[in-house]
Structures are given as structure tokens and as C-alpha cells.
Amino acid sequence: MKHISIIGGAGAPPSIVCTAKMEGGAPAPPCCLENSQTVNLEPRTANPIHAMAKTTTKKHKLKPVTPLPIGMLVRLGNDPLEAFERVQSTGFKICQLACPPDDYLFGENAENLTRKTRTAMKKNGIQVHAVFLSFKNQVWNKTQGPGTVGFMPEKTRAPRMARACMIANWANKIGVKTLIAHVGFIPPNTQCAAYKDIATALRAFVEFCESNGQIFLFETGQETVAVLKQVLLDIGRPNIGVNLDPANLLLYGMDDPLLAVKELHPWIKGVHAKDGCRPVKDGDMGVETPLGDGQVDFPRLMEELRRHGYRGPMIIEREITGPQQQKDILKAKKILENINNGYEKNNQT
């Protein structure tokens, strides 16, 4: 991996350099400064993604039976073996990892924890579909969210880009080639300076991922389908995509998940199986629910995903803690398996 420096925000020079400080003012740890690379931040005149979209939107021939793989999101703790044993004991062979704790990224025990992670994955026969990027001090609502979530806030953009590169490098060490993040509240005015700044900064990060042989997926939620589609086109890199979280679209009062599948299917490379309900009042947030208790139509969603050629996993995410989380995950697993089984039976008759 490569020594870079990341500078974001208005007026930033057209390159990323990893001399940025981490959030809180500490210098970026040296573990992310491996090899040397400068990434061009100048806007591109061509959009290669147009060509990619044309090739990936061609009609797919469905197999007679195409159940979608089912997995879960899991967090790493002090011992990575515990996380992968949980995935295995729940009956899954695939998972997504939440953002790794700092101890996995840098410090005297980082290499040991990384080695243990690889060993635990292999021992339990678990495939890690993706690693989720996350940052400190994010507030998940419509009031404080625009100033705290993802890469959008200018004051935290540089250190968060530095951290994102560190996580990407760590993911590469354990053999994971897909990264996911909430980018933030992207401005709906795609001609304004703030939009152009974030698109430029994101293109640089996506190019860094490309140099690692990795892809970067936008987690849906804070923006409309139209805005997300436009930023994908404007960034214009072949290793960019979408992690569709249908519940997030409802929680933030955005578009219908089925519209997201229709418009974004060339880019959908991952899906969170999460449920929820729309806000009751404008300005409020909706409420996450156990899968099956909310407003996401999973049978139809999965059918549309299949119809448009999606064959990736349905990753169960339940954003609570404690014993009830595991109960809800098992309930979601059963519902998704029944949908898969129903699809199989319909195709066999």
C-alpha cells in the first residue's frame, strides 16, 4: 500500500497526502504510510462509469433457482475468534465486519490481532464480504447528521480520509476487497461548490481503493436515489458501487427501496437486510424494527434484485445490542430463508 496524504474541503490542492492528523489532533499512525502514492484530484473530463453502466445493464439470464446468500454484520472485539464463532454458530458462512477497533489498525498489538483475524476466518470457514468504515462522533439524525456524518463535514474530512485509507489497508491484509461507508448528507444541488468538493475528494479515495484492488460502496440513506446516481456518474470510476440498505431509505424519509433497485442496479454490490418504518413527521427519523415488522417489502425487493441480476449476499443488520439482537437476527434469517425457498419452489413448478 502507499504513502498518501489526504486533504479535503474547499480550496484543497489537487492531491491527497497522508500527513493529516487523526480526529482529536493525534498524528496519523505510521502503519498507513506503506509505499508512496499521489492521487490526482483534478476533475475528470470523461465519465468511464457511463461505459460501465452500459455493459452492466445488459439483460441477465436467470438460473432456474437463484437463492441469495444470507449473512450477518458482526463486530470485532478483543478476540476476533469470538466474532467468527458467533457467525458460524448462527448458521452463516458469510458476514460483513463493522469498523475494526483502533487496536486492530495501529499499536503494538495490531499485527497480532490482524493475524488472529485471518486465522479465525479460516478456522470457521467464514467469508468476509466487506468491511464497513465508520468514524467517531457521528450523530444519526437529520439535525446534527449533516455536520457529523461521513466525509461530508469539511472540518473532519481530511482525518477521516486518512483513517479510511488505514482501514482499507487493514482490510486488504485480511483479504477483503470491498469497503462500505456512509458518505454523509450529499448536497442535492450537484452544481454547488460543496457537491463538487466532496465528489473530488471521494474520487481520490476511490482511486486509492483501486490501487489496492478494492471497490468502495456507498451505503444508502442520507441522499435521494437521483443524487446518489449522479455522484456515482460524476466520480466515474469502475470500482465504485452501492450497498443498498432499504431500511435507511425509509428511516431518513427518502425514496422507495424498489426505486433504488430500478435506478441503481448496475452499481448494487451489497445489500443490508434491515427493516424499519418511515418518519411520522417531517424532520423526524423513522424507527428501525426487527425484519418483517417494518415497511420493507423483502419478498418483492429480493425478486427485483434477482431480476436485475444481483447474486450477492443479503447481510442481516440489527442495530441493537444484547440477547434480543441475536433473537432478531435468527428471526430475520428464517424469513429470508423462507423467501429463498418460496422462490425456489416457484421456479421448480
Average confidence (pLDDT) over 163-185: 98
In tens, the pLDDT along 221-234 reads 999 999 999 999 99
Q: 193-211 and 225-235 helices cross at what angle (nearest 10)?
A: 60
pLDDT at 66: 74
- State the cell numbers at 15: 492531491
Question: Angle at Cα 78 formed by Cα 114 and Cα 164, nearest 5°?
Answer: 50
Average confidence (pLDDT) over 183-208: 97
In tens, the pLDDT along 81-102 reads 999 999 999 999 999 999 999 9
pLDDT at 53: 41
**DSSP string covering 236-291, please?**
--TTEEEEE-HHHHHHTT---HHHHHHHHTTTEEEEEE-EEE--SSTTS--EEE-T
Is the predicted pLDDT of residue 183 greater than 90, yes or no? yes
Residues 333 and 31: their CA atoms lie apart, in Å, by 38
Strands 275-277 and 287-289: antiparallel
Longest dimension (CA), the chain: 63
Average confidence (pLDDT) over 129-141: 97
**pTM score of the predicted model:** 0.83
Spatial CB neighbours of 51, under 8 Å, sequence gap ≥ 6: none
Inter-residue long-range contacts of 192-196, CB under 8 Å, 24+ positions, other chains counted: 193/10, 194/10, 195/231, 196/43
In tens, the pLDDT along 258-315 reads 999 999 999 999 999 999 999 999 889 999 999 999 999 999 999 999 999 999 999 9
Task: Please tell me what DSSP assigns to residue 15.
Answer: B
- Percentage of the chain beyond pLDDT 70 is 79
**DSSP string covering 29-77, please?**
PGGG--SB---B-SPPSS-HHHHHHHHHTSPPPPPS--PPPEEEEE---
Question: pLDDT category, 49, cuts 50, 70, 90?
Answer: very low
Q: 110-124 and 154-173 helices cross at what angle (nearest 10)?
A: 60
Question: Angle at Cα 109 formed by Cα 103 and Cα 112, nearest 5°?
Answer: 110
CB atoms within 10 A of CB 334: 13
Question: pLDDT category, 37, cuts 50, 70, 90?
Answer: very low
- State the cell numbers at 249: 431509505
Q: What is the CATH code for 47-348?
A: 3.20.20.150
